Structure 1
Amino acid sequence: MEGEVALADYLAHLAQQRRASPNTVEAYRGDLSLFLGFVARHTGEAPDLAALSALRPADIRGFLAERAAAGDGNATRARRLASLRGFLRHLARRHGGGTEALAGLRGPRARAPVPRALSPDEAREVARDIGAVHDPARAEQPAMQAARDVALFTLLYGCGLRIGEALALDVKDAPLPGGTAALRVTGKGGKTRLVPVLPAVRQAIAAWLAQHPDRRPDAPLFLGARGGRLDPAIAQRSLRHWRRLAGLPEHATPHALRHSFATHLLGGGADLRAIQELLGHASLSTTQRYTRVDAAALLETWRKAHPRAG
């Protein structure tokens, strides 16, 4: 079996059996295609199963060193090594052979970056005022665009959703005044969770639905100019346009509203396990990044206020 065929089989396994997200599958595809290309350049031919089974730790170290020279940071190389581990172990299980190439290999340690949250006032300003200015570059009715954008960004901040989770909602999922207490969200890996919905979120969604041109239950909740599901890039451009007009920081992005949701809950005394459930994190260690944000805020307050801090 050729390496490219083995790669296609592994990616199908990731998507269908492991239920990896499309973004994860594409990232692994890129990592492993680069590795197969590296092996082909150094052996003079496209690798097959025999060649992949005969790999040594030095081959993988050479690949990672080449990628470091090309500009890959620690986090990227750590992900590429994780891709290789999964691929080679899959080949060993499916076709036999060992995993000697992985012996003793340790990836570069990449500390997860501290999430960059907005202040409570900045986050509220985005959710409240983003519809105030129409983007002339977009062929949409100003009133509809305004109502939709306010509803979307109020939902992102009020419920801590990923942009993809919000845009996957249909009309039947809309949290409306007097409706169910929580919103059911489908996150990474097809996992569902329940998120409480604030009255302000329900009101913003209701105002948008009053102008929604297609209120069939299975219609997308958030529509683009052409009537299809809103593209994440359009939502990101809306916020980019608004933050420049409002003088907000460059890290004011849709995902920063999710970070802000978690950071402000933690600062208000919320339990870390509860925040983990609300965000849909598989591991508590992912949620613990927000304790570093809170500690950083405390340190900045100390620097500004303590007479000996200078």
Structure 2
Amino acid sequence: MTLLISPAARDALENWLASARALKGAAENTITAYRADVLEFIVFLTAHHAEPQGLKPLARVTTPDMRAFMAHLRGQGAAPRSMARKLSAVKSFYRWLAEREGFEPTAVIMARAPKFQKKLPRPLDESAARAMIETVEMQSADSWIGARDAAVVTLLYGCGLRISEALGLRGRDWPMGESLRITGKGGKERIVPVLPLARDAVGIYLQLCPFEPEPEAPIFRGARGGALNPRLIQKVTEKARLQLGLPATATPHAMRHSFATHLLAAGGDLRAIQELLGHASLSTTQAYTAVDEVHLMKVYEATHPKAG
């Protein structure tokens, strides 16, 4: 794909990605997605205009060009959410490029993304979350592996960790105090409280684990002692979900959503929950408000004498 764009455009793209990595602390997965999305746009322009897209042609992008790009994405079968993500990456690149090259990026910046309905998190209720942890523990014949899996899922629910954050814990993080310093997306650090339930679950696992905890080694080990693959946690929760008759949305990440929703339902402050989850934007956390409203309406409709 890179052969279809000019060296100047390729250099500009790589310089923008380097700045996103350095200044914004963008994660490598994000950088990879940015590169693919902007490359797709530049390659489209190359084919659309039948000429290499150097910096000057890139600066002359028009509103009809942007409409043609969106039509191209639709023709490729891209979903509205995917189209919106690609357009967002292109806009970010153009803001940076326009500032460096001194041109007006209005045609790109004003391009409209297709509307799509944001998927709300699907939390488990408290009893289902507890049942998930208990059932996960019984999936393995090896007691230490069952204890390991239960400890990981307990951290997702009890501390609101992402699965990558739980599996990123090192021996130096044990013993756990009343809080943990977590490095999340983009290298951002946050402090999360550790409930006794979560601390005890990790302690039980470490007592049974045949591998000694080492300061720089992962706390959670695979069967042969290496770092635990997150796919194994996904598989064991899927198996537990099927046994419990829970919906397909009952994933490891749903345990993190459940943590936030249950805190909110108990009167937790939205901004405090934002800090605990490590969300960069409050709007991301506000999705849980909608979830809670949905839950409350279901309770209302089921119990109010005049409902229905």
Q: Distance in 2 between matches of 1:61 and 1:282?
A: 31
Write out per-residue CA displacement over residues 96-134 of structure 1, whole angstroms, 9 at most, x where no aligned residue: 433243253333344432111011111111223311022
CA positional deviation for 1:23: 2.2
The equivalent position to 2:275 in structure 1, one of 274, 277, 287, is 277
1:31 correspondence with 2:37: yes
Correspondence list, 1:82-231, <5 A: 82-102=88-108, 104-134=110-140, 142-174=142-174, 176=175, 179-212=176-209, 213-231=211-229
**3-state DSSP of counterpart to 2:186:** helix
Is the alpha carbon distance of 1:299 and 1:96 closer, same or farther for their aligned partners in structure 2, counting shifts above 3 Å? Answer: same
Q: Which runs of 4+ in 1 moved over 4 A?
A: none
| Structure 2 residue identity aligned to 1:113 | K
Kindly tell me: are residues 103 and 262 of structure 1, through their superposed partners in 2, closer, same or farther at Cα, counting changes over 3 Å?
A: closer
Secondary structure at the residue paired with 2:208?
coil
Identical-residue share of aligned pairs (%): 44
Number of residue equivalences: 301
Residue 52 in structure 1 maps to residue 58 in structure 2:
yes
Matched AA of 2:218:
P
CA distance in 1: counterparts of 2:120 and 2:64, whole angstroms = 33
- For the residues of structure 2 that align with 1:46 and 1:252, how far apart are their CA atoms? 48
Structure 1 gap ranges (5+)? 135-140
**What residue number does 1:292 align with?**
290
Native 8 Å contact 2:124 2:255 kept in 1: yes
Measured against aligned partners, the alpha-carbon deviations of 1:235-259 in whole angstroms (never above 9, x if no partner) come to 2112112212232221111110010
Residue 308 of structure 1: how far off its partner (Å)? 4.5
**Alignment counterpart, residue 243 of structure 2, candidates 242, 245, 254:** 245
Q: How far apart, in 2, do the equivalents of 1:104 and 1:90 lie?
A: 15
The alignment yields a C-alpha RMSD, in angstroms, of 1.9
Shift of 1:21: 1.3
Query: Residue deviations 1:15-61, cap 9 Å, x none?
Result: 23321012211221221122122112212244221221121122122
Could you say which residue in structure 1 is the equivalent of 2:4?
A: none
Partners of 2:31 and 2:235 in 1: how far apart?
26
What TM-score do you get using the length of structure 1 for normalisation? 0.90
Query: Which residue in 2 is equivalent to 1:232?
Result: 230
Hey, what's the Cα distance between the residues in 2 that align with 1:133 and 1:232?
16
Which segments of 5 or more consecutive residues in structure 2 lack a partner in the other structure? 1-6
Residue aligned with 2:192, SS: strand
Which amino acid in the other structure matches residue 116 of structure 1?
R
